Structure 1
Amino acid sequence: MQATAPPPKLLVQLREKIRLKHYSLSTERQYVHWVRRFVLFHGKRHPADMGAPEVESFLTHLAVEGNVSSSTQNQALSALLFLYREVLGLDLPWMQDVVRAKRSVRLPVVLTQAEVAAVLERMTGLHGLMARLLYGTGMRLMEVVRLRVKDVDFERLEIVVRDGKGAKDRVTMLPRKLAAPLQEHLVWRRRLFEDDTAQGMAGVYLPDALECKYPNAPYAWGWQYVFVAESYSLDPRSGALRRHHTDEKALQRAMKKAVQAANIAKPATPHTLRHSFATHLLQSGYDIRTIQELLGHADVATTMIYTHVLNQGGKGVASPLDAL
């Protein structure tokens, strides 16, 4: 009689379910991290033997002892709810009663046009081009990093943002000032692609089942990343050795150095350029719905947060001190 194989371990089941639902690699890493911490916090007890009291005590520990932010606490809760519902197949009444931490409502950091110019003047080369794309298109950091050759249309001056936040596509503009520099970059990129092809290393990652549906697509020029790493690396999921897109952390470091060199006290990051893009379009008189579509916001209420800049000072009210 053949012995039945033991069921896979909990974290293996968690990873399989996350990949089945096509969650991103960063989400997979975060969910695995929080589930592991939850299990270790309770002495390696199996989550099936625990419930609301254990979840709440863990979240309380994160807030009180770990001093984590509300968003981090809610991320941990989301990981645990995914574990119980999707992996363990439990949807118990107590899950509906777990209270999420109240998130702080904060205004985005926005640079003035003069400050943006000062930062961009201090960013050259590849990172300078990427930073100008962030400000000139309103794309998110990872949307620029994952940009593919086929999604840049120089004739129409458009960029198609594929699989953005919420798994949605959208179209944004390609600034005229960036058309020539980007074409020059793609000439260099094409040479690198041809060198990789000659070495049999031109394959690129394709999302979901596209690689099975289009087996030749990973080796086609159009599917290549515009901004790539200097060397090959192992895919953490498939184990394939290939050239991945550039590391977003390098752009973050370059931006930080430029902000410091420009003597700007604001805590500006690459995402600040997206905020500045939306703010400056509003100041130029473009309507909120158009900006909503360019940013890819599902709800116009998200875009409305940028309207605070239209009021000079507090709600456009002049201080009585200025009247003295």
Structure 2
Amino acid sequence: MEAPRQPRLLDQVRERCRVRHYSLRTEQAYTHWIRRYILFHGKRHPLDMGAPQVEAFLTHLAVQEDVAPSTQNQALAGILFLYRDVLGIELPWLDGVTRAKKPPRLPVVLNRDEVRALLAQLDGMYWLLASLMYGSGLRLMEALRLRVKDVDLERREVTVREGKGGKDRRTMLPGTLVEPLTRQREKVAAIHALDRDNNLAAVYLPHALSRKYPNAGKELAWQFLFPASQPGIDPRSGIRRRHHLHESAVQRAIKGAVRAAGILKPASSHTLRHSFATHLLEDGYDIRTVQELLGHSDVRTTQIYTHVLNRGGLAVRSPLDGG
């Protein structure tokens, strides 16, 4: 009897990502960089390559393609995952890699009038999402992945589950958003009722929750707070279900609002989170409090905002203004 055929390498990578409960975005990123690595070396099998080939590929990304440090690090993470978790090989320390240089950049921050002008150009779910990103300090994907149960309107609290680094955290919910969020929950309930009447599959649940709580995906509490207008096909399971609003739609709406508001800064959805942190520090809040609200594991990440506080040239008085 013939032995079963070994799955293709990239299928093994996908399977291992799912065993490790990695997000679809991580799975897609890892398979992309592993494919690029193999093609770069003329389709050689990774078992026939090692640290020198990995170093050559990563150096090529930094020198010839001039990628950002985060991109190079993502490529390295994907290749290390391939060797360590899929092929069971530990690579030696990669000390021959030319690292992509990270230019020192301060975050783009809007002043309060600019934030108000931007929000005034948005409506509906886009206004509510942008208001949450600014008012609660959420990343775009954190806001989009919110479930109905993650927003406590009575306690005015937002629970961010599995934020960057896989950590949960709690942050504030602005009082001005309680009423709009109440209406949004009512809309979600109506959409959910319609989906149930149409026998649409349950909403996607992270990790092993769907096995532990098989009916949770059919409950209102687990529905996405910002659902897509139409159901779609789950790329992993092939099941037709309703997912959350796509991030590209929100990014387009915010980019259009920035332009319509006449804001000349290169602002994006993440600028709202930067502005949240900076304005809290300007109001005198302790940097450790801001660190906790943002979910930063290292306070040094939060300290970047101290460099963009509204202090007019680092609080130095210009000699032109002297008397």
User: Residue type matched to 2:181 in 1?
Assistant: L
Q: Indicate the residue corresponding to 1:260 in structure 2.
A: 259
User: Residue type matched to 1:212 in 2?
Assistant: R
Helix, strand or coil at the partner of 1:249: helix
Q: How does 1:128-147 map to 2 (within 5 A)?
A: 128-147=127-146
With normalisation by structure 1, the TM-score equals 0.95
Q: How does 1:190-269 map to 2 (within 5 A)?
A: 190-201=189-200, 203-269=202-268
Question: Is 1:120–1:132's contact at 8 Å kept on the other side of the alignment?
Answer: yes
Point out the more displaced range, 61-70 or 274-283: 61-70
Question: Is 2:30–2:75's contact at 8 Å kept on the other side of the alignment?
Answer: yes
Q: How does 1:105-184 map to 2 (within 5 A)?
A: 105-184=104-183
Question: Is 2:201–2:241's contact at 8 Å kept on the other side of the alignment?
Answer: yes
Q: Percent identity?
A: 59
Q: How does 1:34-53 map to 2 (within 5 A)?
A: 34-53=33-52
User: Residue type matched to 1:137 in 2?
Assistant: S
Q: Indicate the residue corresponding to 1:301 in structure 2.
A: 300
Point out the more displaced range, 48-57 or 172-181: 48-57
Helix, strand or coil at the partner of 2:279: helix
In the TM superposition, residue 43 of structure 1 has moved relative to its aligned partner by 1.0
Question: Is 2:282–2:310's contact at 8 Å kept on the other side of the alignment?
Answer: no
In the TM superposition, residue 60 of structure 1 has moved relative to its aligned partner by 2.9
Question: Is 1:63–1:73's contact at 8 Å kept on the other side of the alignment?
Answer: yes
* CA RMSD between the two structures: 1.6
User: Residue type matched to 2:200 in 1?
Assistant: M
Helix, strand or coil at the partner of 2:224: coil
Question: Is 1:74–1:100's contact at 8 Å kept on the other side of the alignment?
Answer: no
Q: Indicate the residue corresponding to 2:90 in structure 1.
A: 91
In the TM superposition, residue 97 of structure 1 has moved relative to its aligned partner by 5.5
Q: Indicate the residue corresponding to 2:271 in structure 1.
A: 272
Residues 1:68 and 2:67 aligned together: yes
Q: Indicate the residue corresponding to 2:6 in structure 1.
A: 7
Point out the more displaced range, 198-207 or 62-71: 62-71
Question: Is 1:70–1:104's contact at 8 Å kept on the other side of the alignment?
Answer: no
Distance in 2 separating the partners of 1:310 and 1:39: 46
Helix, strand or coil at the partner of 2:232: strand
Helix, strand or coil at the partner of 2:243: strand
Question: Is 1:81–1:95's contact at 8 Å kept on the other side of the alignment?
Answer: no
Give structure 1 regions of 4+ aligned residues with deviation exceeding 6 angstroms. Answer: none
User: Residue type matched to 2:139 in 1?
Assistant: R
Distance in 2 separating the partners of 1:236 and 1:70: 29
Point out the more displaced range, 21-30 or 219-228: 21-30
In the TM superposition, residue 94 of structure 1 has moved relative to its aligned partner by 4.4
Distance in 2 separating the partners of 1:24 and 1:302: 24
Question: Is 2:170–2:293's contact at 8 Å kept on the other side of the alignment?
Answer: yes
Point out the more displaced range, 101-110 or 259-268: 101-110
Question: Is 1:52–1:98's contact at 8 Å kept on the other side of the alignment?
Answer: no
In the TM superposition, residue 108 of structure 1 has moved relative to its aligned partner by 0.8
In the TM superposition, residue 265 of structure 1 has moved relative to its aligned partner by 1.2
Distance in 2 separating the partners of 1:166 and 1:105: 23
Distance in 1 separating the partners of 2:308 and 2:17: 40
- Cα 1:202–1:189 shift into 2, 3 Å: farther
In the TM superposition, residue 95 of structure 1 has moved relative to its aligned partner by 3.7
Deviations 1:248-292 (A, max 9, x none): 111100000010111111111111100100100111111111111
Could you list the runs of 5+ residues in structure 2 that have no partner in the other structure? Answer: none
Helix, strand or coil at the partner of 1:159: strand
User: Residue type matched to 1:171 in 2?
Assistant: R
Could you list the runs of 5+ residues in structure 1 that have no partner in the other structure? Answer: none
In the TM superposition, residue 166 of structure 1 has moved relative to its aligned partner by 1.4
Distance in 2 separating the partners of 1:235 and 1:113: 39
How many residues get paired? 323
With normalisation by structure 2, the TM-score equals 0.95
Question: Is 1:160–1:172's contact at 8 Å kept on the other side of the alignment?
Answer: yes
